Every structure is written in structure tokens, then in C-alpha cells.
Amino acid sequence: MIDHTHDAAVSSWVAGADDHADFPVQNLPLGVFSTSGSAPRIGTAIGDHVLDLSGVAELLRGKAAAAVAAIEGAQTLNALFALEHVARRDLRRAVFALLTNEVHAAHCQAALVPAAQCTMHLPLAVRDYTDFYAGIHHARNVGSLLRPDNPLLPNYRYIPVGYHGRASSIRVSGGEVRRPSGQLRAPDSEVPVVGQSRRLDYEVELGFWIGGRSDLGEPVPIDRAGSRIAGLCLLNDWSARDIQAWEYQPLGPFLAKNFGTTVSPWVVTAEALAPFRVAQPERPDGDPAPLPYLDDERDQQEGALAVRIDVSLRTQSMRNAVMEPMRLGRTAATNLYWTPAQMVAHHTVNGCDLAAGDLLGSGTISGAESDAYGSLMEMSRGGTQSITLPSGETRTFLEDGDEVVLSGTATKEGFRSIGLGECRATIAPAR
Ligand code: CA
């Protein structure tokens, strides 16, 4: 629901917040941070600062009692996201009031920490992780490398295809991802060897953090499925293409994916995203209509997201030369063939339970053109065409020391744009 907290004309008393690219007061994303010598706690990003929500609990309690009870002393957002969305909405309104009314400035100052002094943590303890494959251009591009005559398999337009990922190796933005080793088989060889992956790739994705709870045996109907998405983040599903090529048949991704997944630290809530809901793009002529359990008129009208995502790369020598990362691609969430609600409805149609702390990846979000591709596999045409960087270096896949940065922005005319922050990690050499 769009309300006064989305009014683009409202400003915050926090210096710099109104002009901040990602975190004006219309955003108020939730995350977990710590400062030197202190335990992790829950905060919201406002401009270049983090407001410690425990530090202002007394000011919030009257208007958002349930939410305050779930975040006071908590080191993750799991308890908050287990509540009905009304609790998050009340919290948003109460925090918005604090940060827009100057009367509260003096009381809030002690709880306002410069973001540069904060260490960010995973926002939720990840209960389980599923990765979908809903970016149709990516599916077609990768499919055409493997099967030029038949890039999209017949199930693609019926099923939100996905697989169960690995929760234990999900890390928050800012760290390193170690180059994996595994079984590799050269195209001209019958037998594999074990060695370091030479075809290490990123995948540009959105992550959907689940809220509420549905029990085992209880499908979530499509008209309620959208309300189970509590918030959004950026997600990089690191992928070792050479390990993947040898292992993926017949059961799909395994060690090519589970060595690391990076997510952005701030959860942009479903409440903040209300103005940025857009219609799911029309299916091309000839595509089947979604089956009834995936088809909901309202979801088709407003179940997609007006979110743009950029991916940039910076090598070690670019860092040494103090060069900015080079943008490799700019894509949009409307390139997803399925809405998040359709993913939830499909995930639970067999009775699989979903609860707060579950994370769904969208699948790689590529656009139709090469400047909107979401992986190096696509940009380099399976490693056959190299990309030239401003340093003069070339890449087909990632080298040690390469830093990959995802950023994202939700934009709609008439509303203040809000950002997803950053999802960044650097490739460390294999052990
Ligand atoms: Ca993926």
C-alpha cells in the first residue's frame, strides 16, 4: 500500500539523506550491523548513517510494539520477518516519523552511527535457499550455447524452474570468494582431472527474503503468495562453469554453485517497494498462459518490480591504478519470466513449507542485448570472445583479485528512487 512514507516531497533531518542515491527516508531498509567491540544489532540505513533501532526502541514502542519486541536484542531479522507484514509497516511508519520530524533529532543522535564505522552482517539467519531460473534471456542465451537448435526446454514456459541451493555458504557483501577446485573435464578428454576452476563466473540476481510461515503440507495460493515476500536484496550466485559442465547431468547444479553466494546487507522491504510494483510483461505470442495455480490477475498487473541492476568489474591492477569499476551490464527485473509470487506459489504447490529466513534467488537476470547480460558466460559467448577492460586487460572469466559489484535501484516516475545498496566481493586464489 502506498502511503505518506512514499511521498517524494518529504525530507529527513539527517544530513545528506535527501540527496543519497540509495537511502533517502523513503527507503528505510533493514539490516544487521555492529561497531567496534559491540554485538550485532538491527538498524536502518538513512543516507550515510545507520540508525540503531534498539537505541531508539523507547521512541518506537508506542507505535510499533510488536516489531520492537522482535528486534530488541535480536541479532537477525528472523523474528521480525516471522510476524505479519503489518508489524513491518508499523515499524516503517514509526521510524519515518522519527527521521522526518526534527523534534526527535536530539533523541536520535546517539543512535545514529556513520555507515563507514559499521560492519554489516547477514540480515537473517538463512533457513534455506532456493535458486530459480526465471531470467528468460539468460536461460535462452545459455541454452543456445548448449543446444543451438533448442535453447529453451519445453518445461520452461510452464514451470518456474529452480533447484535447492546451499544456505551454509551464503555471505554478506564485502568479503572474498575463494576460487573453487573440483572435477574438470576438457572437451577433448574422456576422463576428468581435479583442479582449480578456470571458468569462474558471476550471476546477477535478485534475492527475495521470505516472511511469515506456511506449514508442511500447506500450499500458498497465488493470490496470497506475493505477501510472503518480505524484502529484496541483490544476490550474486558465483558459478564455476567448468565444474558445472561436467557435473550438472542428471541432477543439476551442485559443487559448481555451493562454494559461495554473496548477498547485499540491506533488505529493502516489501513496504518500501510498494510504489515500484509494475505489470508483469506480456508473454510473447504463442507462449502458454500460466496454469491456474500460477495465474492471478492482480499479480499479473502489479507483481513485477521496476528495479534496475548494474554489474561492474574491477581488477587488481585497476584498483592499484585507482580506477573505478567498469560497468559490464545493466539489466532490469522485468526481464524475469515469472513474478516472485509465482515462484512462491510454485515452491509450495506440493506442500513444501516456507518460513522467515528462507531466501529465494531469482535466477540470472539478463536483458535481450549484450549490454544487459548478467553473466560472463553470456558476454564471452561461452569463453570464446574476450572483453577488454579500461586497464587494457582482457577477460573471458574471472581472475584472482577481480572484484564484482552489483548495485540496484527501484525507480518510478513521481516517486523518490530507492537503492538496494551494494553486493560486492573479490576473488581470492584457490587454496
Ligand atoms: Ca543462479
pLDDT score recorded for residue 256? 98
Q: What is the pLDDT of residue 353?
A: 98
Q: How far is the CA of 239 from the centre of ligand 1 (A)?
A: 8
Residue extents of the structural domains in the chain: 4-121, 128-428
Give catalytic residues, as residue numbers.
Answer: 138
Q: How many helices (H) and strands (E) does the chain have?
A: 12, 28
Query: What pLDDT does 188 receive?
Result: 92
Asked if 4-121 and 128-428 have one fold, the answer is no
* pLDDT of the chain, 431 residues: tens digit per residue: 999 999 999 999 999 999 999 999 999 999 999 999 899 999 999 999 999 999 999 999 999 999 999 999 999 999 999 999 999 999 999 999 999 999 999 999 999 999 999 999 999 999 999 999 999 999 999 999 988 998 999 999 999 999 999 999 999 999 999 999 999 999 899 999 999 999 999 999 999 999 999 999 999 999 999 999 999 999 999 999 999 999 999 999 999 999 999 999 999 999 999 999 999 999 999 999 999 999 999 999 999 999 999 999 999 999 999 999 999 999 999 999 999 999 999 999 999 999 999 999 999 999 999 999 999 999 999 999 999 999 999 999 999 999 999 999 999 999 999 999 999 999 999 99
pLDDT at 61: 94
What is the distance in A from the centroid of ligand 1 to the CA of 160?
13
Burial 186-225 (b: 16+ CB within 10 A, else e): eeeeeeeeeebbebbbbbbbbbbbbbbbbeeeebbebeeb
The backbone torsions φ and ψ at residue 80, rounded to the nearest 5 degrees and listed phi first, read -65, -45
The model's pTM:
0.98
How far apart are alpha carbons 229 and 342 in whole angstroms?
Answer: 11
CATH number of 4-121: 2.30.30.230
SS3 188: coil
Give, in order, the Cα–Cα distances in Å from 31 to each of 165, 207, 227, 380, 383.
Answer: 23, 14, 20, 35, 37
What is the number of other CB atoms lying within 10 angstroms of the CB of residue 83?
Answer: 20
Residue 146's pLDDT is what?
Answer: 85
What's the pLDDT at 187? Answer: 87
State in Å: Cα 205 to ligand 1 middle: 7
DSSP state of 179: P
Distance from the CA of 56 to the center of ligand 1, in angstroms? 39
Tell me the fold of 128-428.
Fumarylacetoacetate hydrolase; domain 2 (3.90.850)
Residue 296 to residue 366: CA distance in whole angstroms? 25
H helices of 287-403, in order, are 297-302, 316-320, 340-348, 376-379
CA of 144 from ligand 1 middle (Å) equals: 17
Backbone angles phi, psi at 358, to 5 degrees: -70, 140
| Cα 363 to ligand 1 centre (Å) | 4
User: Contact, 176 vs 402, CB < 8 A?
Assistant: no
* CB contact at 8 A, 306 and 232: no
CA of 141 to the centre of ligand 1 (A): 14
Q: Are 209 and 123 within 8 A, CB to CB?
A: yes
